Amino acid sequence: SDYKISKNYSGKINDEYGIVEFMDIHSEGYYYLKKYPNKRKNVVIRSHTPFGLLKQYFNKTELKGVDTWFAFEREKKCFNWAGSITTPSKDLKKRICDMYSIDYDKVQVIPNLLDTNHFSPKDMEDNQDFTILHVGRFERAKGVETLIKSFITLSKKFNNLKLINVGTPRGPSFNKCMGLLKKNKLDQKVIFTGFVDYPDLPEFYAKADIVIVPSEIYESFSYTVAQGMACGKPVIASKIGGIPETMNHGDAGFLFEPGNVDQLSDNIETLYRDEQLRKRLGE
């Protein structure tokens, strides 16, 4: 079915000679670039995170049914066939140029856009609890196990912590984390909202004291980091991929080594104890 869709798509723009932009590399882009060599100079690939880079951060179970032997070679061909490439961060530019043997001059860095009319500071904090917000899929690669372990550690010191998880739980990590929370009698202090529509996201940022982005998978650009900053919240995020470019350490929050529970806990405690620091970082 993927082949049929790609062939049908390609036929619909058979007579197109303008600029064609593909988001990442999927079958339709590969099919188009392979079929029309004379149009390659007009093709732009907007690369977020190619699979050849991303697969390094998944375990075997997570790659089952997803990994394909030809993915890397297909990406390499497309990157080299395309007239130009854009990435949302300098880090991703360097990585794909080195990994796929691409000329550095061929790749331009254009950070992702964020609607700061939609995501903006609003005073809706819950004064009774210290609210920690995590936005993203609740799965191992997003660092949720590290986050839950940190939350349990800190909840033994401070009894007014609350954790809100916005996003869809995936894989075995949800059951594992719920087991840990129930064992420590903290499951009532952690909220799982499930998927939240885009128009409703700012309300969750507004109610948070801090935003956590604990990713252990490569992030070329974290929308959660950018959204938290735009909403005037201090952010604690993994030092991975393009995140440091978006959120300079100490300027809008703190960075920590991915998977390091102690570092994350120390950063959360620092912000918990210092309201003025939270305010300054948020501003």
Instruction: Give the per-residue pLDDT at 68.
Output: 65
Secondary structure of residue 103 in the 3-state scheme? coil
Q: What confidence category does residue 233 fall into, taking pLDDT thresholds of 50, 70 and 90?
A: very high
Around 234, how many Cα atoms within 13 Å sit in the side-chain half-sphere? 25
Q: Which of 139-148, 166-175, 185-194 has the lowest mean pLDDT?
A: 166-175
Torsion of CA 186, 238, 71, 4, to 10 degrees: 60
Spatial CA neighbour of 75 closest among 94, 103, 50: 50
The tokens describing 23, both together, are 């988001």
Residue 112 DSSP code: P
Sign (positive or negative) of CA dihedral 66, 72, 77, 78? positive
The answer, yes or no, to whether residue 124 has pLDDT greater than 80, is no
Exposure letters 245-254 (e unless 16+ CB within 10 A, then b): bbbeeeebbb
Q: Count CB atoms within 10 A of the CB of residue 173.
A: 19
Residue with more model confidence, 42 or 55: 42
- Predicted confidence band at 109 (pLDDT cuts at 50, 70, 90)? very high
Q: In the structure, what pLDDT confidence band is assigned to residue 96 with cuts at 50, 70 and 90?
A: very high
The answer to whether residue 126 scores a pLDDT higher than 60 is no
Position of tokens 């995590």?
A: 134
Average pLDDT over residues 38-46: 95
Residue 133 exposure: Cα atoms within 13 Å on the Cβ side: 24
- Runs of H (alpha helix) within 64-102: 71-81, 90-100
Arithmetic mean of pLDDT, 269-279: 96
Q: Which amino acid is at 181?
A: L
How large a percentage of the chain has pLDDT more than 90?
73
- Is residue 249's pLDDT more than 80? no
Pick the range with the lowest mean pLDDT from 30-34, 85-89, 164-168, 275-279: 30-34
Indicate the pLDDT class of residue 12, thresholds 50, 70 and 90. confident
Residue 6's CB is within 10 A of a number of other CB atoms, namely 19
Indicate whether 101 pLDDT > 90.
yes
Rounded Cα distance between 76 and 39, Å, is 18
CA distance 105 to 74: 21
Residue carrying structure tokens 């719920």: 178
In 82-222, alpha helices (H): 90-100, 144-155, 173-183, 201-207
Largest CA distance in the chain: 66
